[in-house]
Amino acid sequence: MERYSSDMNEKAELSLLIKALREDRLRKMKEKLGNALLTETDSFEWATSKDFNIEVGRYQIEAYIKTWEIRFCWVCSVNFLRTSQEDDFMIYFYEARFMAPTARKPISDRVSVYFAAEVSKTEAETLPVEVRFILESRRLVHTPGRSRFCEKWLTDITETKALLQRMMDL
């Protein structure tokens, strides 16, 4: 039953990522039409569309996560989930699972952060891929370079899970 519940959350979070990418694409198209395209510099260099593949995406997400200011107690693994074709774009989905094992609890609660990398099939191949991420059970979609990751987000989710587990044990 737990796996089914997790699958439902995953589908909801991945659909939120797709929606955010679509909205961002529409916003960019409107800006181009109005000749007001503003580029934001991102301190992290993402691969270009022509250089992107599943392994490059996984490697880059791992490298991006290493730029986050989180304690070393957090262990992370990044796994490829699937792809989705959207118009002239291919979207690659990844899941980064975080755990903070301790001596008392070597298998701690996991926190998933879902990533979506949008690769254009028609635009210039030199453009970097668009990346977004969302934390499990949250609604806010983050953009690398525009939002700063906060370790508290991970601890809040683990504390919420622990509280829910205690409530269910009563």
Residues of the chain with pLDDT under 50: 1-5, 33-42
Structural domain boundaries of the chain? 2-169
* Digit-coded pLDDT (tens) for 35-48: 333 333 346 889 98
Which of helix, strand or coil describes residue 27? Answer: helix
What pLDDT does 3 receive?
45
Q: Which residue has the tokens 């949250």?
A: 138
What pLDDT does 9 receive?
64
* pTM of the predicted model over 0.85: no
Residues 6+ apart with CB under 8 A from 34: none
What pLDDT does 49 receive?
87
What pLDDT does 6 receive?
52
Helix (H) / strand (E) containing 15: helix 2-33
Taking alpha carbons only, the member of 7, 2, 5, 3 closest to residue 114 is: 7
